[in-house]
Structure formats: C-alpha cells, structure tokens
Structure 1
Amino acid sequence: MPELVCGDDPEPSERTPAGPLFVPVRPGPAGCAARLFRTPLGGRTAAAFTSARRLGDTLGPDQPWIRLAEPALRALTAPLGVTTLTVDPTLSAPAPVPAARTIPLPAFRITEGSTR
C-alpha cells in the first residue's frame, strides 16, 4: 500500500515534532553540550521539549537550553551511540521523603541463671 502524503493523511506516518525543539544543555569547556538521559530500562536517550515551559516544569527553571531541530539533535547524538530521542519526557520518580527518625531501644542483657 503506498504511503499517504502527510497533508492527506489524518494521522501522519512519521510522528516527528514540527519546528525547533528546546534541548537541555550543560556548560562545558568548549561551549554547551546536550544533556543525555537514561530511559527506565537504562538505555541512553536525548531529551527535547516542545516548549520552554515544559522543559522548566520537568528540569527546573534554571536549566539552560538551546533550540535545535529534531534532525540536528539526532545528528549531534548519533556519533555517541544515542539513537533514541524522547520528546516531552516527565520525571517518573516520586519526590524523596525524609526517613522517619527512629529512637533506639535500650539494650537488654539476659544472663544465665536469670529467672526474669
């Protein structure tokens, strides 16, 4: 069956985001580098967001970012062996909860011949 042109297809075959994405970066000695993440199964993935607000909601408002198109981000991470791109990821781990403080119980000593 021939592939339909995206304009005629109610659901396009390729689900790629349109336009530049917001890509989290980290500063480095030679400029900025794209941040790479791990999937729940441990694989490496590049992450990108469709808006600065979504990026800030997920990684914090102080997270630096750059705008890159999806093909440019894939070309940037492919030499590193990263072939997965996750768009608009959300953190799935729950926030850490402080451990309850435990009060140590006094030690009891049982001696031989004790009737108690």
Structure 2
Amino acid sequence: MTEPRYGEDPEPSDPFPAGPLYVPVRPGPSGCAARLFRTPLGDRTAVGFTSERRLAATLGAGQAWIRLAEPALRALTTPLGVTHLTVDPQFTAPAPTPVTHEIPVLRVARIA
C-alpha cells in the first residue's frame, strides 16, 4: 500500500469547487439578481443548491433560480463583500411577519 503524497492532498479548509448550482434569484431593475442570505452567525452568504428539488424543498416551488457554476457565483458576490458560499442549506427561517402598528386596548372592569 502506498502512502498518500501530502503535496497533492487538498487541505480540509480549502474550498472545493461545486458543480453547476441552482442559485435562487430575485427580480431586479436590470434583470435578476442572486439572493443573498445570512448564516446563523449573521455573516452574509451566497447560496447554491445541487438540484432543483433541493432548492424547492428549502425555499418553495415558486422560487426563481438560475444555473451558475461555483466560480461564477463567487465572482458575482465577492465584489459585494460576500466571501461565504453555502451549498444545499436545509434550514431557513420564515420571513418576518409585517409589524402592525395597532396598539392593543386594555379594558378594565370597574368594581362598584
């Protein structure tokens, strides 16, 4: 059995290129723009999915998407200061509900 040559092994922290990804997009003034998300620690991240099924399971069937290679997605988001890429996230928090500005009225019963 031969020993692995460490000069050829990638470091675990080195980014490994993902294949073509399904990238969620939103409409913008000049076409569509990649949606950016936040990690649990609050850092901004680009998101890509390895299948349309995984994207729909996480973000819903109505989510618009485009196919991009991982280097292309990084090239789009790095100038925005987004250096993280999350592939196939399985949890998303629901969108916040709109805040109503109605003030609840408390009724106090009078005791005679």
Relative to the length of structure 2, the TM-score reads 0.72
* Partners of 2:17 and 2:71 within 8 A in 1: no
State yes or no: 1:58 paired with 2:62: no
Counterpart of 1:34 in structure 2 is 34
Residue 57 of structure 1 aligns to a residue whose secondary structure is helix
Counterpart of 2:74 in structure 1 is 74
Counterpart of 2:22 in structure 1 is 22
* Partners of 2:36 and 2:47 within 8 A in 1: yes
Assess, with a 3 A threshold, how the Cα gap between structure 1 residues 42 and 5 changes in structure 2: closer, same or farther: closer
Counterpart of 1:98 in structure 2 is none
Counterpart of 1:99 in structure 2 is none
Q: 4+ runs of 1 displaced by more than 4 Å? A: 12-15
Residue 54 of structure 1 aligns to a residue whose secondary structure is helix
Length, aligned pairs only: 98
CA distance in 2, matches of 1:92, 1:77: 20
CA distance in 1, matches of 2:28, 2:92: 28
Identity among equivalent positions (%) equals 66
Residue 61 of structure 1 aligns to a residue whose secondary structure is coil
1:7-55 Cα deviation digits (max 9, x unpaired) = xxxxx85563542100000011111100000111111000000000000
CA RMSD of aligned residues (A): 2.9
Which one has a bigger Cα radius of gyration?
Answer: 1
CA distance in 1, matches of 2:58, 2:34: 16
Structure 2 residue runs without a partner (length 5+): 95-105
CA distance in 2, matches of 1:81, 1:68: 19
Relative to the length of structure 1, the TM-score reads 0.69
1:52-96 Cα deviation digits (max 9, x unpaired) = 0000000000101000111110010000000000000122548xx
